[in-house]
Amino acid sequence: MDYGIVSLLPTALVLVLAVWSQRTLESVLAGAIFAFLIMDGIGFVDTLAEVTLSQLMDEDIAWIILVCGLYGVFIQLLVRSGGSMAFGDLLLGQLRSKRQSLLATWSLGLVIFLDDYLNSLTVGATMKAVTDRFKTSRAMLAYVVDSTAAPMCLLIPISSWGAYFAGLLEKNGAAADGQGLALFIESIPYMFYPFLALLIVPFVILGWVPLVGAMKQAELKAESTGDLGVFEAKVADEQEIGAGGPMTFFLPIVALLFFTIFPSVDLLRGVIAGVLATLVYFASLRLMPLSELFDTCIEGLKTMLPVLAMLLALFIFVEANNRIGLTEFVIESVQPFMTALWLPVIIFITMSAVSFATGSNWGVIAIAMPVAFPLAEIYDVSMPLVIGALLSASGFGSHACFYSDSTVLSAQGAGCQTYEHALTQLPYAVLAASFAAIFFFIASF
């Protein structure tokens, strides 16, 4: 059934509720229920149950839940051992100001480019002890972390994003078998949004781009009152932190990255091996009894429960939007306005809006590719340019959406509220998107 403009209503409800209530989980669930209510009437409960179960049984979603849960375990082990604190103290010996600490955070985000989940959780958890010392709001930390997560992964071909989109390019006939990665690399110069999102971060840190709105308020509050906007579970008291040194931070991180990269990039294998190696290492150092080590693992899982609930709600909402035909409706609505000159910028703006509204970045772009690529051929528009527009839109949605996985995980890693993080970083994401749209229009010539 074609629901037409009605397909916009569930997403509109989510956005309105998120702004009004400042609660993202409940807003996303309400949007999903509303969509199923439109499609199935009083039978929506059966549909909701069926979709929830199917999402939990989906191999990709199970992978994400396992990876995020185990990252929580890994990070909690680093914190509990004292390794994170020791690393923070080591950095504090070299860093003299808030600007230096935030630039160090940005630089660390550029290095950890394999996956946005790994980036968001690891960099935030690592650097918050450092930025706290300089009275930096957790919202500012989350912005810096989030701005180097998805944007950086888009620009590096060996990241999880590169592998996924290279496969999609081959599947949709844009590239021959085995040539998807080569076409992805050819499109990187046209990925204007991730370049701009990354570039604006140091400009904000150095004050060349001013603080505005909620970000300005959060920073003023942090500096004047010391209230950093911390929003995270306090698992252990300060006296329970172990006496581990910097090596109890570095060696587990090295093990995690090594097992993630070799022999091929696999985040699940990497985090499983990283957790096991960390447990063996900490046990050999006798940092704490084995019972406390295993209790720490359980506490790490507990800290991720709100995130896992949010991710499941997001996947249900994405499936609801897929069934109600939101993406197809938007594409069909703007298709008559497309010309050779306007095609890249319309694709970028349209798919950015859909990705932002739905919280789906990979899924929405997968739906759009079968429409965008034939249009590029019809209007004789550069295929790498169109791909750059599509993937830039995906990056914007991941970066800016109030309830995307990247936003949720960046807030979790930095220890601030998801809504506050989304609201404070939105002006800078929109600024990058605005300039990106201009560049896409110029590139069309």
pLDDT digits (tens, 9 = 90+) for 156-214: 876 667 767 787 788 777 777 777 888 888 999 999 999 999 999 999 999 999 999 99
Q: Of the spans 75-84, 218-227, 248-257, which averages the highest pLDDT? A: 218-227
Q: What is the mean pLDDT of residues 94-101?
A: 88
What is the distance between the alpha carbons of residues 7 and 27, in angstroms, rounded to a whole number?
17
Q: What are φ and ψ of residue 239, in 5° steps? A: -70, -10
Longest dimension (CA), the chain: 68
Q: What is the mean pLDDT of residues 290-305?
A: 86
- Work out the number of other CB atoms within 10 angstroms of the CB of residue 396: 29
CB 267 within 8 A of CB 260: yes
What is the distance between the alpha carbons of residues 36 and 195, in angstroms, rounded to a whole number?
38
What is the distance between the alpha carbons of residues 340 and 347, in angstroms, rounded to a whole number?
11
| 85 HSE (CA, 13 A, CB side) | 13
3-state SS assignment for residue 157: coil
What is the distance between the alpha carbons of residues 118 and 123, in angstroms, rounded to a whole number?
8
Question: Which is higher by pLDDT, 336 or 199?
Answer: 199
DSSP-derived secondary structure for 263-277:
SS--HHHHHHHHHHH
Taking the complete model, does pTM exceed 0.85, yes or no?
A: no
User: Any idea where the domains of the chain sit in the sequence?
Assistant: 4-231+240-443
- The token pair at 284 is 């050999």
Q: Is it the case that residue 68 has pLDDT exceeding 60? A: yes
- Amino acid identity of residue 152, one-letter, is M
Question: Which is higher by pLDDT, 117 or 388?
Answer: 388
CA neighbor of 401 nearest in space, from 432, 346, 361:
361
**Residue 160 confidence (pLDDT):** 66
What is the distance between the alpha carbons of residues 201 and 75, in angstroms, rounded to a whole number?
25
Q: Please name the residues in contact with 134: beta carbons below 8 A apart, sequence gap of 6 or more.
A: 95, 97, 98, 101
Q: Is it the case that residue 49 has pLDDT exceeding 80? A: yes
What is the distance between the alpha carbons of residues 179 and 244, in angstroms, rounded to a whole number?
47
Q: What is the mean pLDDT of residues 118-137?
A: 84
Give the residue carrying structure tokens 């019809």: 378
Q: Please name the residues in contact with 298: beta carbons below 8 A apart, sequence gap of 6 or more.
A: none
Q: 306 preceded by cis ω (within 30°)?
A: no
What is the distance between the alpha carbons of residues 12 and 251, in angstroms, rounded to a whole number?
46
How many Å from the N-terminal Cα to the C-terminal Cα in the chain?
Answer: 40
| 141 HSE (CA, 13 A, CB side) | 34
Q: What are φ and ψ of residue 361, in 5° steps? A: -105, -50
Q: Is it the case that residue 92 has pLDDT exceeding 90? A: no
**Residue 239 confidence (pLDDT):** 39
**Residue 237 confidence (pLDDT):** 43
- The token pair at 342 is 């306007």
Question: Which is higher by pLDDT, 363 or 139?
Answer: 139
CB 407 within 8 A of CB 444: no
Q: What are φ and ψ of residue 412, in 5° steps? A: -65, -45
Q: What is the mean pLDDT of residues 44-54?
A: 91
Question: Which is higher by pLDDT, 108 or 362?
Answer: 108
3-state SS assignment for residue 339: coil
What is the distance between the alpha carbons of residues 379 and 184, in angstroms, rounded to a whole number?
21
Share of the chain above pLDDT 90, in %: 26
* Reported confidence tier of residue 236, pLDDT bands at 50, 70, 90: very low
Mean pLDDT of the chain: 84
Q: What is the mean pLDDT of residues 278-287?
A: 89
Q: Is it the case that residue 301 has pLDDT exceeding 80? A: yes
CB 422 within 8 A of CB 399: no
Q: Is it the case that residue 240 has pLDDT exceeding 90? A: no
Q: Find the angle CA(389)-CA(383)-CA(197) to the nearest 5 degrees.
A: 25
- Work out the number of other CB atoms within 10 angstroms of the CB of residue 141: 29
Question: Which is higher by pLDDT, 334 or 39?
Answer: 39
* Reported confidence tier of residue 148, pLDDT bands at 50, 70, 90: confident
**Residue 231 confidence (pLDDT):** 80
Q: What are φ and ψ of residue 243, in 5° steps? A: -100, 25
What is the distance between the alpha carbons of residues 170 and 179, in angstroms, rounded to a whole number?
7
Q: Is it the case that residue 285 has pLDDT exceeding 60? A: yes
- The token pair at 130 is 């450092």
